[in-house]
Chain A
Amino acid sequence: MSDSRTMHFDMSIRAASRPSAAAARAFPARAPARPRANALALPFSPVACALALVVTLAVAYVALIATVMSYATMTVGFSSSLRDDEAAIASLESQYLDRIAAVTATDYAAAGYGAPAEELYVPKASETALR
């Protein structure tokens, strides 16, 4: 007897809890509400966040070292090549100074050159770093 009453009661509760058609039209069904989240909980894991930070710093550190080593290598290499170029220029300068010495020491009279028959002077801007 009790089971039928319970069932009847249950069915009555279900009937009572089931909204009526008019109520359903007046108040459309809403999606069931989600459980409200804790105010202090983050949307992602702190472990994952820390892991990402560590990885980023590691990559940045490696990049920094690579940059510094490359810079130092380029600087040393450039300085060395600069000095090599200067040495090559010095060799040319030595040849230039040797030529000047040879020209200065030449005895033009003995070489068969004679004094000019006539000298003519024309105006020309003085080429000097002196004054």
Chain B
Amino acid sequence: MRAQFRSRLRIILAAVLVMAALVVVRLYFVQVVDGAAYALKAEHQSTGAGGLFDRGTIYFTRKDGTLISAATLATGYLVAVNPQLAKDPSAAYDAVAAEATTSVDKPTFLAIAAKPGQVYIEIAHHLSDAQGAALLAEKVPGVEVLRERWRYYPGGDLAAQSIGSVSYGAGGDALAGQTGLERQYDDALSRSGDSLYQNFFAELFSGAGNLLVSAKNAREGNVVTTIEPEVETRLAGDLAKVNQRYSSIESGGIILDPATGAIIALASYPTFDPNDLSTIDPAVLRNPLVENAYEFGSIMKPLTMAAGLDAGVITPDSTYTDTGCITVNTAKICNYDLRARGTTSMVDVIEHSLNLGASWIATRLGQDKFRQYFTRYFGAKTGVDLPAEIGGLIGNLQTSEQVNFDNMSFGQGIAVTPVQMIRALAAIANKGVMERPHLASGIELDTGITRALDWSAGRTPVFSATAAADVSQMLTTVYPNDARLAMNSDPSLQYANVPVAAKTGTAQVEKPGGGYYTNVFFHSFFGFFPADKPRFAILLYTNRPQGVEYASGTLTGTFMDLTNFLIDYYGIPPEPDQVLPLPKTVPE
């Protein structure tokens, strides 16, 4: 029995020795025979100083739910030169320059290479696989071709200010989101990069809990936005055309779903391409839709009307006597055309954009109620998920001069951001409730689960559904007149086949020292459709357009183009009898 056990032990020992011999032979082949080849392979997988960049993706969402990358990663190669190994640094540089665009000019490179102790000088970045392979094949002494990964924006300048950009911050040692959604969701998008190198068995014994539920895995992921890429492209293209046609200093627009606050598209012009930040003006990195406040002018009148109706100080059938101009606190307030209209209805106040009508409603409301409603509209930031949002400039609400309240009733003397403006106006399309505008609908975790973001906590009722319906009805009288004017100058425009609620705004621009220019304007346009079952709300603006005084002349065509595009793209059913009505006798 003992002899039997011994023999078995000898057999096992022999087997172990054979296996060990095989391992040694294999090690010899791997490390001695093929060692150079493996080292080369490893080098081409390795990176320059710092390791491969990794970051989550930001997605657009197409109308059918397909995710399209707005910000992702590109892979390629970078080229570095080791002057210690390069026989001729100049020739090495020339060899690289022949294949790719260098990031360092030759005199600078040679000056650095001449310094003692230099072993690593990066001279070219973002090489394609083909360029990298070509340089590798040349085997230039001292030239190292290393794997590289960088942030890439497939859409280029599409929603650039809102998607944002990544760069080295003040610390200068790590790439992080600096603007837009890149910064707002940097916590979710950043990758620590250590998860790949975990020792599974070490983790099993030391941190088993993390294997099951990891705080990092519950936070890191990709950001899914509500931006629709085709709508975004349309809006951006239209704004660029407006800006160029009228030589405005800037233009912008937002399209959102009034029922949820989901932003379908948002754009501003001028814009930039975040794939190349080396030559841009840093001022263009600002997002004017949340970081700039403007006096929007007459598109404020529907909010004044809604406040008056909700407070019960007026009804849709109320009338006032319009004298063309009035004097309030020694200041003169007039209609745009200085015309007196006599007995005037509330519908006419909206349809003909009468400053005196808005002032009359503000007086009927009283300063306290007016302050209460407008503080509700604009007293706080919207909470949109973009960094650096500012609040409105509403200091005049705290004054006691009636002229200030009259001015504010038609959108002068009060400056708000575009996102604040559309949020308040969209309440007319949402039964009197302001929703919280947002860009991100969820975070797609690496596990595949999408953590939906809930924005319902930001809902704010501001006026009654009845007041909203009444104002909506009034706004449907504006679109036919403006559409007719636009179609007269551009017959290719189509009248929408659904009811549309709309309002234009033409505001005087404030002078730096106080007062207003008489011939410099800020144009705005707000609308939503279908007016009876709103699906989309649109806000457009263009700052200091040249050659056209009123917004109906600059922005109506753009609004009509976007409206018809959205109707066709989303298949919104036409409503019967939506035809351009006959012109009324009162001209624009």
Give every chain A residue within 8 A of B62 (Cβ-Cβ). Answer: 129
How many residues of B are counted as interface, with CB atoms below 8 angstroms from the partner's CB atoms?
54
Total contacting residues, chain A, CB less than 8 A: 42
Known contacts A43-B2, A127-B64: does B155 contact A94 (CB below 8 Å)?
yes
Output the least CB separation between A127 and chain B (Å): 6
CA distance A90 to B60 in the complex (A): 12
Q: Is B9 touching A52 in the complex (CB atoms < 8 A)?
A: yes
Contacting residues, chain B, for A93 (C-beta < 8 A): 68-69, 72, 154
B28 within 8 A of A: no
Per a CB cutoff under 8 Å, which of B54, B63, B237 touches A130? Answer: B63
Cβ-closest chain A residue relative to B492: A109
User: Contact between A130 and B12 (Cβ–Cβ < 8 Å)?
Assistant: no
* Complex-state Cα separation, A60 to B115, whole angstroms: 52
B64 lies within 8 A of A48 (CB): no
Q: Among the interface residues A52, A64, A94, which one has the most CB atoms of the partner chain B within 10 A?
A: A94
Q: How far is the CB of B226 from chain A (nearest CB, A)?
A: 8
- Chain A 114-131 interface residues, beta-carbon cutoff 8 Å to B: 115, 121, 123-124, 126-131
Q: Which of A54-70 contact B (CB under 8 A)?
A: 55, 59, 62, 64, 68
Q: Check if B200 sits within 8 Å of A68, measured CB to CB.
A: yes
In contact, B233 and A127 (Cβ under 8 angstroms): no
Q: In the complex the two chains form, is A71's CB within 8 Å of B200's CB?
A: yes
List B301-336 residues whose CB lies under 8 Å from chain A: none
State the CA gap A108–B509 with chains docked (Å).
Answer: 37
Task: Encode contact with A along B33-70: 1 for CB under 8 Å, 0 otherwise.
Answer: 00000000000010000001010010001111100110
CB neighbours of B573 from chain A (8 A): 121, 123
B501 an interface residue at 8 Å Cβ cutoff? no
For the complex, give the distance between the alpha carbons of A8 and B13 in Å. 61
Q: Per a CB cutoff under 8 Å, which of B57, B196, B229 touches A75?
A: B196
Instruction: State whether the Cβ of B75 lies closer than 8 Å to any Cβ in chain A.
Output: yes
A46 to B81, CA, bound (A): 62
A6 within 8 A of B: no
Chain B hits for A80, CB < 8 A? 45, 52
Query: Which residues of A are found within 8 Å of B16, using beta-carbon distances?
Result: 55, 59
Contact present for B13 and A87 (CB under 8 Å): no
Which of A51, A62, A84 counts the most B-chain CB atoms under 10 A from its CB?
A84
- In the complex, A97→B572 CA distance in Å? 24
A83-B75, A87-B75 known; A126 and B199 CB under 8 Å?
A: no
B342 beta carbon closer than 8 Å to chain A: no
Residues of A within 8 A of B74 (CB): 87, 90-91
Residue of B nearest to A78 (CB): B196
B197 to A, closest residue via Cβ: A72
Q: Decide if A44 touches B64 in the complex (CB within 8 Å).
A: no
Residues of A within 8 A of B152 (CB): 87, 90
B6 at the A/B interface (Cβ < 8 Å)?
yes
Q: Is B381 an interface residue (CB 8 A)?
A: no
Instruction: From the candidates A68, A71, A104, A127, name the one contacting B63 in the complex (CB within 8 A).
Output: A127
- The answer to the question of A7 belonging to the interface, with a C-beta cut-off of 8 Å to chain B, is no
Given A59-B16, A97-B233, residue A83 in contact with residue B155 (CB < 8 A): no
Q: How far is the CB of A97 from chain B (nearest CB, A)?
A: 5
Q: Is A101's beta carbon under 8 Å from chain B?
A: yes
A124 lies within 8 A of B571 (CB) = yes
- Give the contacting residue for A129; candidates B54, B65, B75, B229; CB below 8 A: B65
User: Are B199 and A68 in contact (CB-based, < 8 A)?
Assistant: yes
**Which residues from chain A contact B154 at a C-beta distance below 8 Å?**
90-91, 93-94, 97
Name the B residues within 8 Å of A76 (CB-CB): 196-197
Contacts of A59 in B (CB 8 A): 16, 19
CB of B531 to closest CB in A, whole Å: 17
Q: Does residue A89 face the partner (Cβ distance < 8 Å to B)? A: yes
Q: Which of B161-169, B257-265, B414-422 contacts A (4 or more CB under 8 A)?
A: B257-265
A64 and B201 contacting across the interface, CB-CB below 8 Å: yes
Which A residues lie within 8 Å of B64 (CB)? 127-129
B122 proximal to A (CB < 8 A): no
- Known contacts A44-B5, A83-B73, A89-B69; A129/B61 CB under 8 A: yes
Q: Is the CB of A9 closer than 8 A to any CB of chain B?
A: no
Taking a contact as CB atoms under 8 Å apart, the answer to whether A101 and B73 are in contact is: no
Contacts of B233 in A (CB 8 A): 97, 100-101, 104
A10 at the interface (CB under 8 A from B): no
The one of B73, B228, B260, B570 in contact with A86, judged by C-beta atoms closer than 8 angstroms, is B73
- Does A23 lie at the interface of the complex (its beta carbon under 8 Å from any beta carbon of B)? no
State the Cβ distance, B371 to closest chain A Cβ, in Å. Answer: 35
Say yes or no: A130-B264 contact (C-beta < 8 A), given A43-B1, A79-B196, A105-B237.
Answer: yes
Q: How far is the CB of A68 from chain B (nearest CB, A)?
A: 6
The residue in chain A whose Cβ has the minimal distance to the Cβ of B147 is A80
A48 engages B73 (CB within 8 Å): no
For B571, list chain A residues within 8 Å (CB). 124, 126-128
- Chain B residues near A51: list those with CB within 8 A: 9
| 13 interchain pairs, CB-CB under 8 A | A44-B2, A55-B16, A76-B196, A80-B45, A86-B73, A87-B72, A89-B69, A90-B69, A91-B154, A93-B154, A128-B64, A128-B570, A130-B535
If A43-B1, A86-B73 are given as contacts, then 14 extra A-B residue pairs at C-beta distance below 8 Å, sorted by A number, are A48-B6, A48-B9, A52-B9, A55-B12, A72-B197, A75-B196, A83-B73, A86-B72, A93-B68, A97-B158, A100-B233, A101-B237, A105-B237, A109-B492
Interface residues of B (CB under 8 A from A): 1-2, 5-6, 9, 12-13, 16, 19, 23, 45, 52, 54, 57, 61-65, 68-69, 72-75, 149, 152, 154-156, 158, 196-197, 199-201, 228-230, 233-234, 237, 257, 259-260, 262, 264, 492, 535, 570-574
Nearest 5 A-B pairs (CB), nearest first? A94-B154, A129-B65, A93-B154, A87-B75, A90-B72
